Amino acid sequence: MRGIKTSILTMSLLAFAGTAGAVEWGAICCDGGYEYRHPSAWEKEQQRVKDELAAAQKLLADRERELASLRSSSGAALQSAQADLDRSKKQMGELEREDAALRSSSGAALQSAKADVEQSKKRVTELERQVGDRERELYSLRTSSEAALQSAQADLERSKTRTGELERELASLQAGAASETSRLSGQLSSAQGDLDQSKARAADLERQLASLQAVAGEKDKLAADLTVANQRAAELEKTLADRDNELAGLRGELSAEMAKLKVAQRSLLKALRPQIEKGDIMVDLNNERLLINLASSYLFGTGEDALKGAGADALKQVGTVLKDFPEYKVAVDGHTDNVPIRRALKKRFPTNKELSEARAANAASALSEGGLSNATTTGYADSKPVESNSTAAGRAKNRRVEVRVTK
């Protein structure tokens, strides 16, 4: 490309130089009143250079068209264009050598054409820039073509891999179909065997029927046995009726007991409504027992067995309600979490067992102040948790005092 540009500059220079010194007066002749002149060697050379310049410009235009074509073609066209460019460079080299020869005879004309040459240089520079742009576009197209080829190859490899997987799946399905066919054949054989066994069993039953008909004389004995069995059934039915009556009585007694406990439950719910709504106390009636669950945080301070004022008042209200049901047993149970007793508190309560017992005793004392004096107390420490001790919320629910009311 650079050879073509240099040649264009040289030929432009020669063209302008030829314009400046085109007339050679010594070649003018007169003939019959008309003046004419023969073309000089310089004019012939000038015309030749102009022709070659036009050919070079045409060649450049051709190269630009080839570049446009190469944008959608393969790299083979680029190699052909490069070969043409090399030939053009060689031709331009020859023209440059001829130009050097001409410069020795046209120095004055070259001086007058410098301005035009500078302009031609600018044009050549512009053409160089355009050619550079075309070369970059060609490189980009070639790069994108290679990337597209690589992508297509990758897609082909993935397709081959997927085809292999599908072939393996097909083989597996065919093997599974063969296995299923074998299994069904086995089931069919098994069913045929069962049918044969059923036929044999039917024949055996027919033989048994014939044998039973042969021993029909035992009918009277069987009738006597049936009479005895009916009498035994009548006795069992009478016993069952007696048991039903006893069960009905027990159910009546249970209903009466539950009715009493429900009265006690309603009284407690009414007396302890604020604490129940806050979640400090729960009252539950279930399985023939009334259970009052009081949170330790509501009754006691941390590590303490002495009742808070509000906790003592609540237990007194419980005692006031339960004293009206003297036929029931009342047990006060103390419970803690599994956190060991620490530091100075161990002097008073070596373990959670002692702490739970002390809290149960003080709760029973508050019940007695409300009028209930027959409550028993037990400290269970952390042996009967209602929630997991792995969380703070679970440990809080395990720290409690329960008042159990049973028959």
Q: How far apart are CA 389 and CA 397, in angstroms?
A: 9
Residue range 348-357, pLDDT digits in tens? 999 999 999 9
Cα within 13 Å of Cα(218), Cβ side: 7
Mean pLDDT of the chain, nearest integer: 78
Q: What is the mean pLDDT of residues 197-217?
A: 74
Q: What is the pLDDT of residues 159-179, one digit of tens each?
A: 678 877 777 877 776 776 667
What DSSP state is assigned to residue 233? H
User: Is the confidence at residue 122, as pLDDT, over 50?
Assistant: yes
Residue 327 CA from chain centroid, whole number: 64
Residue 201 banded pLDDT, cuts 50, 70, 90: confident
What pLDDT score does 25 carry? Answer: 41
Q: Residue holding tokens 């001829």? A: 98
Cα-to-chain-centroid distance, residue 93: 69
Per-residue tokens: 229 = 């069995």
Predicted local distance difference test score (pLDDT) of residue 27: 45
Q: What is the DSSP string of 183-211?
A: HHHHHHHHHHHHHHHHHHHHHHHHHHHHH
Q: Name every residue whose Cβ is closer than 8 Å to that of residue 109 and which is 6 or more positions away in sequence.
A: 16, 17, 18, 20, 21
Summarize the confidence of residues 330-359 as an average pLDDT. 94
Of the pLDDT bands very low, low, confident and very high (cuts 50, 70, 90), residue 118 is confident
pLDDT tens profile 375-394: 999 999 999 999 999 999 99
Q: What is the pTM of this model?
A: 0.41
pLDDT at 23 over 50: no
Q: Where do the domains of the chain lie?
A: 2-153, 259-406
Within 74-113, residue ranges assigned H as helices are 75-103, 107-112
Question: Which pair of structure tokens corresponds to residue 361?
Answer: 């005793």
Domain 259-406, CATH: 3.30.1330.60
**In this predicted structure, what is the pLDDT of residue 21?**
46
Report the distance separating Cα 85 and Cα 224, nearest Å.
130
> Does residue 197 carry a pLDDT above 70?
yes
Q: With contact defined as beta carbons under 8 Å apart, do 383 and 338 qualify? A: no
Percentage of residues in the chain having pLDDT higher than 70 = 71
1-5, 50-54, 369-373: least confident range: 1-5
Q: At what angle do helices 219-271 and 309-322 cross, to 10 degrees?
A: 130
The pLDDT, as a whole number, for residue 259 is: 86
* 43-52, 133-142, 291-300: least confident range: 133-142
- Considering Cα of 81, then 82, then 83, then 87, what sign does the dihedral take? positive
Cα torsion 170, 176, 180, 185: sign: positive
Band (70; pLDDT cuts 50, 70, 90): low
Nearest-angstrom CA–CA distance, 244 and 365: 45
Asked if residue 43 lies in contact with residue 154, where contact means CB atoms within 8 angstroms, the answer is no
Please report the DSSP string for 126-161 in residue order: HHHHHHHHHHHHHHHHHHHHHHHHHHHHHHHHHHHH
